[in-house]
Structure 1
Amino acid sequence: MIHHNAMKFIYFFLIYGLLQTSVSAQTPKADILFDNWEYFRAAKLYTEVAAKKPGAAIYFKLGECYRKMHLYRDEVAAYDKVNAFGLFDKSEFYLHYAVSLRSTGRDADAKAAYDTYCSLAPSDFRGPFLRAAIDIANTDHQWDVPVTMTNVSSVNTPNADLCPVLYKDGIVFTSNRKSPGHNKIYGWTGASYLDLYYAAKSKNDSNYTDVSPFGGSRIIKKFNDGPACFSQNFDTIYISRVDRDMSTTANLNVANKNALGIDRVKIFTSAMVHGKWTKAVPLHLNSDAYSVANPYLSKDGSRLYFVSDMPGGYGETDIYYCNREGTTWGQPLNMGGNVNTFNRESYPSEDAGGNFYFASDGYQGFGGLDICVALNKHGQLEKAIPLKYPFNSPQDDFGIMFLRDMKSGYITSNRYEGGTGDDDIFFFDLSKNTINSELTTTIYTIGYRPIKHDLPMPQIVSPTVSIAKQISMPTNFVIYFDLDKYFIRPDAIMHLDSLVTIMNDFPNLTLLASGNCDCRGGTDHNRKLAVKRSNAALMYLNGKGINADRLQGEGYGTKRSPVKCKEGKLYSSDMHQLERRAEFHLQ
Structure 2
Amino acid sequence: MNRALLSPLLSILLLFFIAACTSQKMYNAGLSSVERGEYYRTAEKLRKAYRKDSNPQHRVEMAFQLAQAYHKLGDYGRAAIWYKNAIRRDYPDKKVIFDCAECLRAYQNFEEAKLYYQQYLELFPDDERARQGLEACDYVPLWEKNPSRYIVSPVRELSSRYSDYGVAYVGGRDNEVIFSSMRESENTGKQKSAITGEHFADLFRSEFLLQKQKWSEPELLDESRIINTEDEEGAPAISPNGDLMVFTRCRYDKSKNMGASLFATRMSRGNWSEPMLVPLADDSLIVAHPAFSPDGNTLYFVSNRGGGLGGTDIWMASREGNSFGNPVNLGKEINTPGNELFPSMDYEGNLYFSSDYHPGMGGLDIFKATKDEDGQWQVENLQVPVNSSGDDFGMTFINAEDPRGLFASNRKGSRSDDIYSFYLPPKVYRITGEIYDQETGQRLDGARVRVIATDGTNLRMRANDGKFQLKLNPETEYVFAAYRDGYLSDKLRENTIGLTDSKDFNVRLYLRPIDEPVKVENISYAFGAWELNEASKHSLDSLVQILNLNPTITIELMSHTDHVGSDKFNFELSQKRAQAAVDYLIQRGISPDRLVAKGYGETWPKKVTRELARQYDFLRRNDELTEDYINRLSVDQQEIAKSINRRTEFRVLSTDYQEEYQPER
Length-normalised TM-score, structure 2: 0.60
1:89/1:10 CA distance change after superposition, 3 Å: same
Give me the whole-angstrom Cα distance separating, in 2, the residues matched to 1:287 and 1:115.
41
Match in the other structure for 2:66: 62
- Alpha-carbon deviations, 1:223-278, whole Å to 9, x = none? 12110111122111011112x225x316xxxxxxxxxxx72221111111232211
CA contact (8 A) 1:145 1:462 kept: no
Tell me the equivalent position of 1:119: 122
- Structure-2 separation of matches of 1:352 and 1:317: 25
Partner of residue 101, structure 1: 104
Could you say which residue in structure 2 is the equivalent of 1:270? 265
Comparing both structures, which one devotes a greater share of its residues to strand?
2
How far apart, CA to CA, are the structure 2 residues paired with 1:161 and 1:227? Answer: 10
Letter in 2 for 1:273: S
Distance 1:317 1:187, change over 3 A: same
Equivalent residue, structure 2, for 1:291: 286
Q: Which residue of 2 aligns with 1:45?
A: 45
In structure 2, the partner of 1:234 is: 242
Structure 2 gaps of 5+ residues are: 432-469, 477-494, 505-665
Aligned-pair CA distance for 1:431: 3.7
Cα distance in 2 for residues equivalent to 1:148 and 1:8:
70
Give the C-alpha shift of residue 173 in structure 1.
0.9
Secondary structure of the residue that 2:264 maps to in structure 1?
A: strand
Q: Distance in 2 between matches of 1:173 and 1:460?
A: 32
Distance 1:125 1:226 in 2: 34
Distance 1:38 1:355, change over 3 A: closer
Aligned to 2:22: 22
Q: How does 1:199-218 map to 2 (within 5 A)?
A: 199-215=206-222, 216-218=224-226
- SS, match of residue 384 in structure 1: strand
Question: Mean Cα displacement is larger for which, 51-60 or 185-194?
Answer: 51-60
The one-letter amino acid paired with 2:220 is P
2:244 and 2:293 map into 1 onto residues whose CA distance is: 13
CA separation in 1, counterparts of 2:502 and 2:64? 43
Q: State the distance in 2 between where 1:412 and 1:229 align.
A: 15
- Report the equivalent of 1:442: 474
In the alignment, the residues of structure 2 paired with residue 61 and residue 177 of structure 1 have an alpha-carbon distance, to the nearest angstrom, of 28
Residue 465 of structure 2 aligns with which residue? none
Q: For the Cα contact (< 8 Å) 1:201–1:207, is it kept in 2?
A: yes
Question: Could you tell me how far apart the structure 2 residues matched to 1:407 and 1:9 are?
Answer: 75
Q: Quickly say closer, same or farther: Cα 1:236–1:80, change in 2 above 3 A.
A: same
Q: CA deviation at 1:23?
A: 1.6
8 Å CA contact retained: 1:227, 1:294: yes
1:129 maps to 2:132: yes
Q: Give the secondary structure class of the aligned counterpart of 1:130.
A: helix
The answer on whether the counterparts of 1:355 and 1:381 sit within 8 Å (CA) in structure 2 is: no
* 1:313 is the counterpart of 2:317: no
Could you tell me the percent identity over the aligned residues?
Answer: 26
Gaps of 5+ in 1: 251-261, 445-450, 465-587
- Are 1:77 and 2:61 an aligned pair? no
The answer for the alignment partner of 1:408 in structure 2 is 404
> Per the alignment, in what secondary structure is the counterpart of residue 154 of structure 1?
helix
One-letter amino acid of the structure 2 residue matched with residue 429 of structure 1? Y
Matched to 1:424, the amino acid is: D
1:319–1:348 CA contact under 8 A, matched in 2? yes
Q: Deviations for 1:432-477, whole angstroms, at most 9, x for unmatched residues?
A: 8755457733269xxxxxx9459xxxx995559xxxxxxxxxxxxx
After the TM superposition, which of the residue ranges 121-130 and 19-28 deviates more from structure 2?
Answer: 121-130
AA matched with 1:391: V
- Indicate how the Cα distance of structure 1 residues 269 and 16 shifts in structure 2: closer, same or farther if over 3 A, else same: same
Which structure has more relative contact order (CA 8 Å, sep 6+)? It is 1
Contact between 1:356 and 1:381, CA under 8 Å: does it hold in 2?
A: no
Match of 1:361 among 356, 362, 365: 356
Give 1:188's aligned residue.
195
CA distance in 2, matches of 1:439, 1:323: 43
What letter corresponds to residue 441 of structure 1 in structure 2?
N
Matched pairs, number: 438
Please report how far the alpha carbon of residue 160 of structure 1 lies from its aligned counterpart in structure 2 after TM superposition: 0.6
Find the partner of 2:420 among 397, 422, 426: 426
- 2:67 aligned partner, one-letter code: G
The residue aligned with 1:567 is none
Alpha-carbon distance, 1:41 to partner? 2.7
- Give how far 1:427 is off: 1.2
Tell me the amino acid that sits aligned with residue 414 of structure 1. N
Q: 1:298 to 1:83 in 2, by over 3 A?
A: same
Q: Relative to structure 1, is the Cα distance of residues 103 and 5 closer, same or farther in structure 2, using a 3 angstrom cutoff?
A: farther
Counterpart in the other structure of 2:558: none
d(CA) in 1 for partners of 2:422, 2:285: 35
Q: Distance in 2 between matches of 1:130 and 1:165?
A: 32
In structure 2, the partner of 1:482 is none
User: For the residues of structure 2 that align with 1:294 and 1:76, how far apart are their CA atoms?
Assistant: 28
| Partner amino acid, structure 1, of 2:44 | K
Instruction: Report the alpha carbon displacement of residue 204 of structure 1 after superposing the two structures with TM.
Output: 2.8
Partner of 2:114, secondary structure, is helix
Quickly say closer, same or farther: Cα 1:30–1:367, change in 2 above 3 A: same
TM score, norm. by length of structure 1: 0.68
